[in-house]
Amino acid sequence: MNSGVGEARDPTDGPVRDPDHRASGSKQQPVPRKLRRLLLLGGGALALTTCFAILLIWGIQGPAYIFDLIAAYCL
């Protein structure tokens, strides 16, 4: 039976101080949560704006106009 008296304590048994499990001497800093959220929201807003503009052009000019734009940029 282990009584706990006189036993050496394992230094890794304590709470984890580095949640990302990186070495304490690491030069890389994690990306802040606000920046990640800003980039995600910015990318989502850009995608929605692009889709809205395409649907607006589709409704006003028709699908032939969008296909002509794609063909002009691809050639």
CB 58 within 8 A of CB 66: yes
What are the extents of the domains in the chain?
48-75
Give me the percent of the chain exceeding a pLDDT of 70.
Answer: 63
pTM higher than 0.85: no
Write out pLDDT tens, residues 36-67: 999 999 999 999 999 999 899 888 888 898 88
